[in-house]
A and B are shown apart, each in its own frame.
Chain A
Amino acid sequence: MDWDFFVQQVVNGLTLGSVYALIALGYTMVYGILKLLNFAHGEVYMMGAFAGFGILTVFGGALEVSINVVALILMMLAVAMLGSGLLGVAIERFAYRPLRNAPRIAPLISALGVSFFLQSSALLLFGADFRSYETYEYIDLATGIHWGPLNISVVRIAVILTAFALMLALTLLVARTRLGKAMRATAFDREAAAMQGIDVDRVIVATFFIGSALAGAAGVMVGLVFYKVYHLMGFIAGLKGFTAAVVGGIGSIPGAMLGGLLIGLAEAFITGYVSSTFQDVFVFSILIVLLLLRPSGLLGKADIQKV
């Protein structure tokens, strides 16, 4: 057994998994509150990646970064999160809110339209070429942890730590704050929450903002680790993020984190040991098997429909 290779796959899986987890959180939060599949979520993530790239360009581009690298990356994250968050709020306001009481399929079709609209907008604005964060130009990838077979570059460490910090912050927000309480109440029963004086619309807006901001952060992280950003990147990532949310149990926040990490690890190992062309087919098979064996996901509760 080649330990170096094995450990490398674990690191890859954790990096990929923390990104999927961040995307999955947006799906699961929105689904928890609105029972809506937000197909446009992957596109929000893509826009976040482009926002980060825009900040890089503003500060001189990869070859001659004009400010401190840590400040640059923090700025990328902040702008991408803010931009994606606002985009998510706008999508909710204009594409989903008018359909709040429509048949179930109406917002799904609207989401499909938004998704394609954003994808082709990105194609129009940024062109079809790959853009690259070229992280290796301004960060020395050789620095990091080197300990036996373990080799993790500083970028990956930063990405994994940031992702976990964001997840921790979200968990605390949902568990400890007034807004978190309102979110849990709205997810449990929207009408009853409204009757308790909770401003449901505001809770929904906050949910979309937070979920989309996390996706924006994920976009920047992917750019930093894997370099490439392009207009179609949101589709597959959104699909994997959704799979992660379903695997963990849709509607459950810890479930989305667990599911994201599992899907990331599974994908890394399949790519490393089985096939690098058909990894999507295998990830898909995981989803199918899980849906057959445990439809409510690993940490989800079985859905009892009340009338």
Chain B
Amino acid sequence: MSEVEGTPEGPKIGVDEWVARHGERAGLRGGRLAPLVQQAERLPWWALLAAAVAASALIPFISSSDYVIRVAVNTVLFALLALGLNVVVGWAGLLDLGFIAFYGFGAYSYALLSSDQFDLHFPALAAVAIVIVTSALLGLLLGLPSRRLLGDYLAIVTLFFAQIYVVLATNADRIKLPWNDGPTDFTGGPNGITDIDPISILGYEFTSVRSYLWLSLGVFTVVVVALQFVNESRTGRAWRALREDPLAAELMSMPVNRLKLLAFMFGAATAGLTGAIFASLQLGVFPQNFDLPLLITVYAMVILGGAGSIPGVVIGAITINVSLELLRDPSNARALFYAAIGLGLVALVRPWRRLAVVAGATVAFGIVVYQLADAIRPAWTSGSIEGGRFSELLDGWVVHPVDSTRLGNIGFILLIVALLTLTEVRGIWRTILLVPTLYLAAFVWENRLVTEPSVTRILLLGALLVVLMSWRPQGLLGTSRVEIV
């Protein structure tokens, strides 16, 4: 994707000269945050890593709330998952849709190796090591049939693997084995496996949530250091070459298939390791812990942060996981929603006078609609907006019917149509259309989305992926790719 416009007198986009200058030009850009980004870039990566890990490790001393620490542990686990997926998607440029299944596979393997299910109680380190190796081998096995083909087939084979994993996890509790009389229970079916041994290292047992925070941060540090070295190695450079142009990479005598499989194994191993930690943290594994919505969450983290950049995907994981946690509570969700819209408007609508006009017009438009709706049918405005902060600010202009489902659904469809039209029209019409679109967004949010948080999160993540891919495919911190002509 060539993001930078070529100047009329400068070299044409993509020719050698332009590519040569692209580096310095990228250094000049970056908007208002540029100085900050430049400062951060000057620090060595290990200093950033140490600062981030130290800051996170102090969380239990700042907040004693178990919930906060729990969210912190989840965020670190998500960051690990995002790092693993980044190897496959960001570096090698392959689409792995079975990633979550590897996560689940790791969790279940750990559970089988250290619970009463088969009466196996391996030492934690041995169990984790076995999980990592078997996950990587499974990744290798799965990658083999698609090695001769383009990356697309890999995507579908992995998606199938995700499906198989769900089927097995839910149904492999009554398998008849030829050498066994009764049915054998492998995965516990829908009830999962419980009473998993907590991880213990050198006699220290990790039982509290805060100890898991430190454990997962330790694992995180090891993984980041390892990936950083891999990224700077021959293999890392070869992966990036493969991502940019597999054919050219092959002509440079790079073992393309082996590299693909290696990336795939790295991703699988990281996911398996994270799964093992998750299983021991939760002390149980259930099939629905590893469902497909999780896949799109991890993808959104990698893409938002910037595929290919280690700090990028970690920041993506933090942003998305914390936002999703905030969405659980309606009043936080409301604040987050209007803040996001406000930020988007400030970034996209300039000058500020036009922004003020749009904001004012939206409220005015809302008041007119509200009065009209009230005059036509009082039931349309007599519903009550869910309580919580800021709800009084919405009184009088956001229509809220008693039965909000039907009108909310119509509003939702209209909103999608309006948003799509908005990307098509230009100039003054775009500003004019923005007013009803904003109003519709507020209407749909208050009437429909706020009441269904679990649907809303997937809806927003899906939309985020589509918007990011066409608007800013490099994410927040990734470097924009240059198409060489």
Contact = CB atoms under 8 A, between A and B. Distances in A.
Interface of A: 35, 37, 90, 94-95, 98-99, 101-110, 112-121, 123-125, 235-236, 239, 242-243, 246, 277-278, 280-281, 284, 287-288, 291-292, 295, 305, 307
Nearest to B303: A109
Contact of A120 (B94, B97, B458): B458
A143 B358 CA distance: 63
Interface stretch (B22-30, B66-74, B105-113, B145-153): B145-153
A117 B463 contact: yes
B171 interface: yes
A246 B154 CA distance: 12
Interface residues of B, number: 57
Contacts, number: 143
With most chain A CB atoms within 10 A of its CB, the pick from B97, B159, B293 is: B159
The secondary structure that dominates the B interface is helix
B247 A236 contact: no
A102 to B, nearest CB: 5
Contacts of B151: 104-105
Contacts of B93: 103-105
The secondary structure that dominates the A interface is helix
A291 B145 contact: yes
A256 to B, nearest CB: 15
Interface stretch (B53-61, B124-132, B466-474): B466-474
B455 interface: yes
8 contacts: A94-B466, A105-B95, A113-B461, A113-B469, A117-B462, A281-B164, A287-B157, A288-B145
Contacts of B292: 235
Nearest to A96: B470
B448 to A, nearest CB: 7
A103 B296 contact: no
Contact of B465 (A103, A112, A295): A112
A45 to B, nearest CB: 16
A277 B303 CA distance: 36
B473 A102 contact: yes
B163 A239 contact: yes
B146 to A, nearest CB: 7
Given A95-B470, A109-B89, 8 more contacts: A103-B93, A103-B243, A105-B243, A109-B95, A109-B465, A119-B462, A120-B459, A277-B167
Given A109-B303, A109-B469, A292-B145, A123 B455 contact: yes
Nearest to B159: A239
Given A102-B473, A110-B469, A37 B155 contact: yes
B164 to A, nearest CB: 5
B349 interface: no
A305 B469 contact: no
Contacts of A119: 458, 462
Contact of A98 (B156, B164, B470): B470
Given A109-B303, A125-B409, A291-B149, A101 B167 contact: no
B483 interface: yes
Nearest to B144: A292
B297 to A, nearest CB: 10
A115 B148 contact: no
A94 B423 contact: yes
Contacts of A280: 163-164, 167
B469 A94 contact: no
B299 interface: yes
A113 B153 contact: no
A291 B157 contact: yes
Contacts of A109: 89, 95, 299, 303, 465, 469
B156 A37 contact: yes
B222 interface: no
B156 A242 contact: yes
Interface in B275-308: 292-293, 296, 299, 303
B83 to A, nearest CB: 17
B455 A124 contact: yes
Nearest to B244: A103
Contacts of B161: 284
A102 B152 contact: no
Interface string B419-458: 0100100000000000000000000000011001001101
B328 interface: no
Nearest to A114: B466
B167 A281 contact: yes
Contacts of B461: 113, 116
A236 B1 contact: no
B229 interface: no
Q: Across the A-B interface, give the 3 residue pairs with the lowest CB-CB distance, nearest first.
A: A113-B465, A117-B462, A116-B462
Contact of A124 (B146, B153, B156, B448): B448
B51 interface: no
Given A112-B299, A239-B163, A99 B145 contact: no
B447 to A, nearest CB: 11
B171 A277 contact: yes
A102 B160 contact: no
B481 A125 contact: no
B464 interface: yes
Contacts of A103: 1, 93, 243-244, 473, 481
B389 to A, nearest CB: 24
A124 B459 contact: yes
Given A125-B409, A278-B167, A284-B160, A291 B153 contact: yes
Contact of A116 (B155, B293, B469): B293
Interface string B42-56: 000000000000000
Contacts of B156: 37, 239, 242-243, 246
B21 to A, nearest CB: 21
A117 to B, nearest CB: 3
Contacts of A288: 145, 157
A264 B465 CA distance: 33
B416 to A, nearest CB: 8
A259 to B, nearest CB: 13
B465 A110 contact: yes
Nearest to B300: A113
A108 B432 CA distance: 34
Contacts of B413: 125
Contacts of B103: none
Contacts of B152: 35, 37, 104, 108
B144 to A, nearest CB: 8
A112 B99 CA distance: 14
A287 B412 contact: no
Nearest to A242: B156
A285 to B, nearest CB: 9
Contacts of B423: 94
A24 to B, nearest CB: 12
Contacts of B145: 288, 291-292
Contacts of A94: 420, 423, 466
A120 to B, nearest CB: 4
A115 to B, nearest CB: 7
Contacts of A37: 152, 155-156
A307 B409 contact: no
A169 B145 CA distance: 35
Contacts of A123: 455
